[in-house]
Amino acid sequence: MPIYEYKCSECGEKFEKWQRSMCSEEAARCPKCGSLRVRKGVSMLGSTGGGSLSDSSCAPTSGG
């Protein structure tokens, strides 16, 4: 399930919400003030600090 970051247009609260799919129409509600006036942002959840795919600990190693 993807996670999305939101910002409330009423109180400015920033929060995250898991959703079933990218196309899901589930309404996001601000946990602080309860407003439905929220804006979806971009989440950097998968960021690991700039390593390349060959640096992955899941990559096969040679010489085994």
pTM here? 0.56
Task: Tell me the two tokens of residue 10.
Answer: 């009423």
Structural contact between residues 14 and 6, judged by C-beta atoms closer than 8 angstroms: yes
1-45 folds as: Rubrerythrin, domain 2 (2.20.28)
pLDDT mean by block of 10 residues, the chain; 64 residues = 88 89 75 95 57 49 56
Return mean pLDDT, the chain.
74
The Cα-based distances of 8 to 20, 25, 43, 63 in angstroms read 21, 17, 15, 53
